[in-house]
A and B are shown apart, each in its own frame.
Chain A
Amino acid sequence: MSAPFIWILLPGLVAFALIFLSRYRAISLVAAIATALILAVLAWGLKVGEVMSFGPWAFKIQEQLAVAGRSFVITNPDRPQIALLYSALAFWYIGALVISTPPSFIPLGLANVAVLIAALAVQPILYAALLIEVAILLSVLMLTPMGEPVNRGVLRFLTYQTLGVPFILLAGWMLSGIEPETVSTQDIVRAAIFLGFGFAFHLGIFPLHSWMPMLTETAHPYVTTFVISTLFSVGILFPVGFMQRYPLLYESINLLEILRILGIMMVVVGGVWAAFQRHLGRMLGFALILETGRTFLAIGLPGGAHMLLALFLPRILALGVWALSLSFLKAHSEDLRFHVVQGFGRRYPVVGTGLILAHFCLVGIPILGGFPVYLILWEQLTAYGSWISLGAILGSAGLMVGGLRSLAVLLMGPEELPAPKAGRIDFFSYALILLGSGAIFLFGLFPQWFLPSLMAISATFGRLTP
C-alpha cells in the first residue's frame, strides 16, 4: 500500500461512492465526516516509508505511486499538511450538518481535497496545473446546483482560474528536469514570473481579485467559503514550496519585499473596499482578499512561513462561523443586500452575533481569535517601516467599518419585521454557532494553548521549511 493510495485514491473512491448516496444526505454526510476524520488521523499517525507493526502484522507504506508514467509522492514531512486539509474538510462538513447545501457538496468536497493533494504530490510539477484545473471544475459543479444556470460569479471564477493554468503549466515546463543545484538565475526568474502570474490569477491577487466578491455575492456562502479557503490553503503552498526549492530566487530578486508589497496592497484593497459594501456576501469576499494579503505579508517575512499555520486556525474558525451565519441569513431572506436583511440580527440574535464576532475576529479586535496572530504579524512588520504596519491596520480599520455597518444593519430597520421566508432555526444550529464563537474567544484570550504547537507543526512542513 502506498501513501498516495491512502490519501488520494481512497478518498477519491469514497467520493465516487458518495455520489450514489446523495439522496440520503444525512448518511452521506456522516460517512464523509468519518472519512475525512479517519484520513486526518491516519495522516497524523501513520509513518510513510517506515516499517510499522500492529501485533503480528508488519507493513510499510510506500511513498510513491506511479500512474501512467507519472508519479505521486507523499513523504513524511507532507503528512501534517494532509492531516490539516482533511481536518479542515471535516470541520466544513460538520457545519453542513445544520445547513442546507447543494447535494454535490458532500462527494465533490472530498474529491476536491483529494485532487488538490494529488496536485501537491504529482511529479513532475508540470501536471500540478492540470490537477488544479480539475479541482476548479469540481468546485464549479459544487457551486452550481444541478439544473440551475451558472451564475456570473461562478463564470468569472472559472475564467480567472483557467487563465492562470497556462502560466503554471509554462513555469512547470521550464522547471521540468532542472535540479535546484544546476538551475541558472535567468531560468529561475523567468519561471518565477510565470508562476507568479499563474498564482496571481489563482489566488485572486489585486487587480485579479474581482471573482472573489462576485462569487460570495452570488453563490451559496458556505460552499463558496469552503471552495475559496481550500483552494487558497493548497494554492499558497506552491509558491512557498517553489521559493524554498530554489533559494537562488532570494538572491536574484528581492522576493520578500515584492511579497510584502503585494500583501499590503491586498490588505488595503480588501479592507477599504469592505468599508463601502452594501451586501453581506460581498463583505465576506473582501475579507477573504484581505486574508490573502495577510498571508502574503507573513510569507514576506524572513521565516514567516512558520506563521502560515498560526494564521490558518483563527481564519478557518472565523470563516466557518461567518459562512454558517450567512447561510442561515440567506436561507431566511431573499438575499443578503443590506436593505433586505435589516433587523435580522434582532430576529436571529445568535446568528447575528456569530456573524459579527467572526467578522471582528478577522479584523483583529482584541480578545477575538485573530488578534494574537495578527499582533505578531503587525509587530514583525514594523521592522520594515511603520508605513507597512500602519497600512495593515488601515486594512483592518476598513474591514472594521464594514463590520460595524453590518452590525448596524442587522440591528436597525422597522420595529415590526416582515414574516420570515423560512421557519425557525433549530437548537443544533445555534449550538454550532455558539461553539464556534466560544472557540474564537478562547483562541483570542489564550493563544498560548494553541500557537506554540501550531508553529511547531509549521516547522515540520516539508514544503514550507525555509
Chain B
Amino acid sequence: MLIFLSILLLFSVPIIILVLDRFRVRAGYLWFFALGGALTAWILILVARLQSPTIITLMQWRPATLFSATPALLLDEISWVYAAALAAFPLAVLLTDILRFTDVDPQAWAASLAMTGLGLLAVFAGNPLTLMLAWAVADLSETFLLLQRVPTSGHRERVVVALSVRLVGLLLVLAATLQALSLGTALVFDAIPAEVSGLLLLAVGLRLGVLPPHQPFFQEPPLRRGLGTIVRLTPVTSCLVVLARVAHVGVPASWQPYLLAVGVAAALYGGFAWFQAPNELDGRPYWILGMATMALVSAVYRLPDASMAWGVALLASGGILFLISYRSRFVSALAFLGIISFSLFPFTPAWRGGILYSHSGFFLVLLFVLAHALLLLGYARHLLQKPPPGEGVERWMLIVCPLGLILLVIAHWGIALSHGLARGSGLSMNSVGWWGGIVAFCLAVVFLFLRKLQFAMLSSIATGLRGLLSLEWMYRLFWWLYHTASRFFSSISLILEGEGGVLWSLIMLILLVSLMIQLSGGG
C-alpha cells in the first residue's frame, strides 16, 4: 500500500504545483512543496520494504476468464532496490536545482516528480501486462514532453526514432507473453520460462540501446540538467528491473555467444564514446550504454546480484555526475565517492558486480575490464572539466546544493548495504572478480596520468571503432532493405490497382484457392 501511496503522491503533487503556479504562487513555496512531496515519497518507498513481498492489484480487468493477467504492482527485493534508487532522484534534482536558479521552472519540477511516478509504476510492475502499460504511458508521456521542448526538425526526428525503438521493445515483451502462453504457461516475473527469457532480454536490450548498440535517446542539449537526468534515467531503471528478473533464469544457451559478442562490442563502444564525449551530458547516452551492457551481460550469465550492482551504480554514480554543475573541493570529494561506488572495490556498493569477471573467459574479462576502465576514466575526465561556481551564486546555495549529491551517495551505499550488493560472498581473494575492479581502476589511473598519450591514442582508437561500432553501416543496410521492399510492395500495388488490376486479383484469387485446396489435401 505504501508504494501505491508514494506513486499517488508523485502524481498528485505535480498537479497541485501546476495549479498553484497558475495562481502565481511564489516559486520558492512551490519548490518547498515539491521537495516535501519528493521526500515523503522516498521515505514511503524506503519504509515499504518492511511489507516486501507484496502484490497490489491495481484493478481487475474483466471478463476475468478472458484476461490471463490484470494490472498489479509487485514489491519485492528487486523492485525495491531500484525504486529506492529512482525515488531519490527528484529529491536530488530539486536540491541541486537551487544552483541553477536562473532556470526556475515549476513545470520542470512537476514533470520531474510525475516522470519518477511513471518510472516507479514500471519498476513495480507485477507482470508483463503492467510493465507494457507502464512502458507505454512513460513512452508516450516522454515523447509528448520532449516534442514540446525540442527546437528543430532534426531533434524531432530523433524523438520519433527513440519512440520507435521503444515500441519495438514493447512488442517484443508482448511476443514473449504470447510465446509463453503457446508453451502452456502464463508469463509471470517470478517464474520466467527459459524459452522466452531471450525475447525479454532482447526487448530490454533494445530499449536500453545495447542490442544492437545504438543511441536510443536523442542529443542532450535542449534538455535541462535536472529534468533531463530524470527523463533519461527513468526508462533505463524500468529496463534494469526486468534485466534483474531475467537474470534469475538466464537465456537459452544457444543465445549466449551472440549476446556476449554484442555485449562486448556495446560495452567497448559505450566506454570509448563516454570517455571521448565533450562533456558528461553529451556523453550520457554512452554512459547508459556502457553500464547497462554490464548489467545485461550479468543477466546473460544468470547473475542477478551482479546485474543489480551494475544497474544501481549506473543510476546513482551517474546521477551524481549529471547533477553536478560546478566543481569545488567538497563536490569533488562527493564525485570521487561516486567513482569509488562503481569501481567494484571490495566493500564498495557495486562489489558484487565483480562476479561478472569471475564468470567470463580470459579474453572476455580483458575486454570488459577495458570497458570498465574507460567508464571510470571518462567519469574522472568529465569531473575534472567542471567549472568552478559562477558569480552570483550565494553561499547558502553552495551548502544546499551538495545535499542532493550526498543524498545520492547515501542512497547508493544504503541500498547496497541493505541488499548485500557490497558483500563479497562468492568472491575470494584469488578470483578474477575480486581483482577485476582494482585492475580497471589502476588502468584508468594510469591512463589519466599519461593524459596526453592516452588522449591521442584513445581518440584515434575511438574514431576507428566508432565507424565500426556505431553501426551506421547496419542502418544504411536496413534502409536499403526497406527501400527495396518498399519498391517491391509498390509494384504489387501498382499491378493490383492498375487498369488490369481486377483480372490480376482474380488470377491471384484462383491461385490462392487452389493452393489452399492442395494444402488441405483436397483435389
Contact = CB atoms under 8 A, between A and B. Distances in A.
A213 B505 CA distance: 14
B523 to A, nearest CB: 14
Contacts of B163: 404, 407
Contacts of A381: 178
Contact of B502 (A159, A272, A455): A159
B152 interface: yes
B489 A273 contact: yes
A19 interface: no
Contacts of A365: 136, 167, 170
Given A400-B171, A408-B157, A389 B178 contact: yes
Given A159-B502, A404-B163, A393 B171 contact: yes
Interface in A182-236: 200, 206-208, 210, 213-214
Contacts of B505: 207-208, 210
Given A258-B516, A366-B132, A452 B62 contact: yes
B175 A207 contact: no
Interface stretch (A125-133, A290-298, A326-334, A410-418): A410-418
A451 B63 contact: yes
Interface string B467-503: 0000000000000000001100110010011000110
A447 B61 contact: yes
B181 interface: yes
A404 B497 contact: no
Contacts of A455: 63
Contacts of A50: none
A366 B133 contact: yes
A385 B179 CA distance: 9
A378 interface: yes
A206 B493 CA distance: 12
A385 B182 contact: yes
A160 interface: yes
Interface string B124-146: 00000100110111001000000
Given A210-B496, A273-B489, A365-B170, A412 B59 contact: no
A416 to B, nearest CB: 11
Contacts of A397: 168, 171
B67 interface: yes
Contacts of A163: 502
A207 B497 contact: no
Contacts of B182: 382-383, 385-386, 389
A276 B486 contact: yes
B175 A390 contact: yes
B147 interface: yes
B512 interface: yes
Contact of B167 (A376, A386, A389, A404): A404
Contacts of B509: 200, 207-208
A177 B351 CA distance: 83
Which of A214, A343, A380, A389: most chain B CB closer than 10 A?
Answer: A389
Interface in B40-94: 59-63, 66-68
A264 B325 CA distance: 55
B66 A412 contact: no
B171 A367 contact: no
A411 B147 contact: yes
A448 B157 contact: no
A400 B174 CA distance: 14
Interface string A240-270: 0000000000000010001001000000000
A415 B155 CA distance: 12
Contacts of A210: 493, 496-497, 501, 505
B418 interface: no
Contact of A378 (B132, B170, B178, B502): B178
A214 B497 contact: yes
A343 B147 CA distance: 13
B160 A404 contact: yes
Interface string A325-367: 0000000000000000001000000000000000000000111
A128 to B, nearest CB: 23
B490 A276 contact: yes
B501 A156 contact: yes
B493 A273 contact: yes
Contact of A446 (B59, B157, B490, B501): B59
Contacts of A389: 178, 181-182
A367 B138 CA distance: 11
Contacts of B428: none
B460 interface: no
A208 B502 CA distance: 8
A213 B497 contact: yes
B520 interface: yes
A381 B181 CA distance: 10
A382 B157 CA distance: 36
B59 A254 contact: no
B59 A393 contact: no
A375 B170 contact: no
B147 to A, nearest CB: 7
B156 A379 contact: no
B59 to A, nearest CB: 7
B60 A448 contact: yes
B256 interface: no
Contacts of A446: 59
Nearest to B512: A207
B431 interface: no
B153 interface: yes
Given A208-B509, A404-B163, A412 B156 contact: yes
Contacts of B516: 258, 261
A400 B167 contact: yes
A415 B178 contact: no
Interface in B160-219: 160, 163-164, 167-168, 170-171, 174-175, 178-179, 181-182
A235 to B, nearest CB: 18
A272 B489 contact: yes
Interface in A18-51: none
A107 interface: no
B64 to A, nearest CB: 9
Nearest to B508: A207
B174 A393 contact: yes
A172 interface: no
A188 to B, nearest CB: 16
A161 interface: no
A261 B274 CA distance: 50
B178 A390 contact: yes
Which of B63, B68, B179, B485: most chain A CB closer than 10 A?
Answer: B63
Q: 7 smallest A-B Cβ distances: which pairs?
A: A386-B182, A207-B508, A366-B136, A448-B62, A382-B182, A210-B496, A382-B181
Given A378-B178, A407-B163, 20 more contacts: A159-B502, A200-B509, A207-B508, A213-B493, A365-B167, A365-B170, A368-B136, A376-B67, A378-B174, A379-B181, A381-B178, A382-B181, A382-B182, A390-B175, A390-B178, A396-B171, A397-B168, A400-B171, A401-B164, A445-B133
Interface of A: 156, 159-160, 163, 200, 206-208, 210, 213-214, 254, 258, 261, 272-273, 276, 343, 365-368, 372, 375-376, 378-383, 385-386, 389-390, 393, 396-397, 400-401, 404, 407-408, 411-415, 445-448, 451-452, 455
5 contacts: A276-B486, A365-B170, A385-B182, A386-B182, A411-B153
